[in-house]
A and B are shown apart, each in its own frame.
Chain A
Amino acid sequence: MPDEPASITRDEVAYLARLARIDLTDEELDHLAPQLAVILESVAAVKEVAAQDIEPTSHAVPLTNVFRDDEVRPCLTAEEALAGAPDADQSRFRVPRILDEEA
């Protein structure tokens, strides 16, 4: 894989957009695919660095788990939590159907 030239097709962009849950239009796909190909070609420079033995860094500072005491603390009320909801019903978020109708 690392030796393949970086490229990305329109179909791949359409597939990635589905994964990312964005309904891209045809015009956007036409525009984005060549742009992303150029960006990918540029960022593929990271592959030039011989770094087999190098540890990856996910965070700039060393991370350790942080614990706190399990104490009751004030938190948002249901009204506050729902204040920005697109739709709410009986103190709950109201969402579109999550299953297929035939299911």
Chain B
Amino acid sequence: MSELTRMGAADLAQAIRSGAVSSVEVTQAHLNRIYDVDTGVHAFLHVSGEVALEAARAADARRSAGESASSLDGVPVAVKDVFTTAGIPTTCGSRILEGWVPPYDATVVSRLRKAGLPILGKTNMDEFAMGSSTEHSGYGPTRNPWDLERIPGGSGGGSAAAVAAGEAPLAVGTDTGGSIRQPGAVTGTVGVKPTYGGVSRYGLVALASSLDQAGPVARTVLDAALLHEVIGGHDPLDSTSIDRPLPPVVEAVRNADLSGLRVGVVKELGGEGYQSGVLARFDDAVKLMIEAGAEVVEVSCPHFVYGLAAYYLILPSEASSNLARFDAMRYGLRVLPEGVDAPSAEQVMNATREAGFGPEVKRRIILGTYALSSGYYDAYYGQAQKVRTLIARDFTAAFEKADVLVSPTAPTTAFKIGEKLDDPLAMYLNDIATVPASLAGVPGISLPSGLADEDGLPAGLQVLAPAMADDRLYRVGGALETMLQERWAGPLLDRVPKLEVRT
């Protein structure tokens, strides 16, 4: 493993800027690492080596000319397969989009290209971002670099595993109910879900439009902030994009300090159902925050216990509507029904969706269709929307007592592949701590809190802040990361076991 594939993005950017190393060298080192270990990890669905090297050469040419496209110019990045990429296949982890090459870039992708970040490839995910383990990918699961028998979280398990395995210094993901934060927790990486509307959704294959939010995946809090600044900010192509300046997230990391900060521990996000090692690392981190001068209070958010139920009604409802676009007419798979002469469009649609969608997608489409059907709408979808209001009010009340809220990111460390695959409710429980922020649209970060004693696997800590106060996530995350790394005598990712290299 080359030293370049262990470095953070800020350090790589600095090395490229100073001329110590070229973007082509950095990009090639990561492409080599992908070649070496991705047979085992399977973080990538598509590797775009030529695209990446061409962008790297352009970055090196800019440097020679004394120019720079951004603070991350020349630093390569992996992109979750939910973002459209012109000229690079986009499948969203589904067979129904196998081989589809979009004719346009998502805004996040065009911003990455404009900022000079070479795109290494597209990362694996649960099909249409439905899942918490990446096992629901139509192309086989991604494996956790900490233990290849275990899941890397989901839906963005590919992005998190790529960053943890040294295959990419940075990645972008999307978080609808925890799909950036939970993979971050179980892989020992940093993941941020910005305020809803903080990063453009243009060009994202939509799962649940009122919840979907793109954000950074990185090895350090500073790296995440740098990437956040590249992809964030107003976009006229997304009508829900916030037309206000991005909070100063990079500055917040550089001036990270906890003195006088009021930190609220959410009573409902902990205790029963949480693994002891996850809770122990969380308690350690809270103690560190107190030592650093934070004022820690317990806050109660009584409606959070209904968050998962509301989420698993709102999400399938929106998804069942969004996924109606996969109709076998304009792009993607078209399957003709067997034994039917001159089938109708409707018959082709039925056969295509049967063949192209996996079990979890079908489950959620049926559930959403049920929740939205007449006679059930008020009792399910309507009531879930009211719960959403109550959860938002819980946040408002909690943020009167505390500047930020904290909890474990996920209730457990990474579980074994296959363990929960056919038990949807057990799978949904992984999102218990992450969905409240999604429902209320507030921002959240997950950062590693250490390794659980019982299994030696990474646990994550989540920080939540009021809408548009994303900078507070970085202030707390940056300070906590510094203290934890002092205790660990280095980054947690240095302890990822050596991966088998292809010979």
Contact = CB atoms under 8 A, between A and B. Distances in A.
A28 B386 contact: no
B267 interface: no
A76 to B, nearest CB: 5
The dominant DSSP class at the A interface is: loop
A46 B380 contact: yes
A29 B306 CA distance: 29
B326 to A, nearest CB: 9
A101 B100 CA distance: 32
B389 interface: yes
A56 B313 contact: no
Contacts of A22: 350, 353-354, 357, 362, 365-366
B197 A23 contact: no
Given A16-B373, A46-B309, A58 B385 contact: yes
Contact of B240 (A43, A61, A84): A61
A91 interface: no
A46 B350 contact: no
Contacts of B369: 16, 19-20
Nearest to A12: B370
Contact of B387 (A16, A35, A38, A51): A51
User: Counting chain B CB atoms within 10 Å of each CB, which of A38, A39, A101 scores highest?
Assistant: A39
Nearest to B346: A21
Nearest to B375: A1
Contacts of B334: 86-87
A23 B103 contact: no
B303 A49 contact: yes
Contact of A83 (B103, B353, B373): B103
Nearest to A94: B329
Interface residues of B, number: 76
Interface in B379-393: 379-380, 382-390, 392
Nearest to A43: B309
A1 B103 contact: no
Interface string B309-336: 1101100000010001001111111100
A46 B329 contact: no
B414 to A, nearest CB: 24
A23 B337 contact: yes
Nearest to B242: A61
Task: Specify which of B373, B379, B440 lies most central, judged by the most chain A CB atoms within 10 Å of its CB.
Answer: B379
B382 A56 contact: yes
A80 B467 contact: no
A66 interface: yes
Contact of A21 (B197, B349, B389, B441): B349
Nearest to B97: A84
B344 A97 contact: yes
Residue among A63, A93, A97 with max Cβ neighbours from chain B (10 Å): A97
Contacts of B312: 39, 42-43
Interface residues of A, number: 58
Interface in A77-100: 80-81, 83-87, 93, 95-100
B101 interface: yes
B196 A61 contact: yes
B370 A8 contact: yes
B366 A32 contact: yes
B196 to A, nearest CB: 4
A31 to B, nearest CB: 8
B289 to A, nearest CB: 27
B196 A56 contact: no
Given A46-B309, A57-B389, A84-B103, A38 B365 contact: no
Contacts of B330: 84-85, 93
A72 interface: no
Nearest to A4: B379
Interface in A37-66: 38-40, 42-49, 51, 54-61, 63, 65-66
B196 A51 contact: no
Contacts of B365: 20, 22
B104 interface: yes
B367 A36 contact: yes
Contacts of B359: 28
A45 B309 contact: yes
B357 A43 contact: no
A49 B306 contact: yes
Residue from A23, A40, A63, A76 having most chain B Cβ neighbours under 10 A: A23
13 contacts: A17-B362, A21-B350, A22-B350, A23-B351, A35-B424, A48-B306, A51-B389, A56-B382, A59-B441, A60-B211, A61-B240, A66-B239, A87-B334
What 8 pairs across the A-B complex have the smallest Cβ distances?
A60-B441, A56-B385, A86-B334, A84-B331, A51-B386, A23-B354, A80-B103, A57-B388
Given A38-B425, A54-B390, A86-B328, 16 more contacts: A1-B376, A13-B366, A20-B366, A21-B353, A22-B350, A23-B351, A39-B312, A49-B303, A51-B387, A56-B385, A59-B441, A60-B442, A61-B240, A81-B103, A93-B330, A96-B347
Interface of A: 1-2, 8, 12-13, 16-17, 19-25, 28, 32, 35-36, 38-40, 42-49, 51, 54-61, 63, 65-66, 68, 76, 80-81, 83-87, 93, 95-101
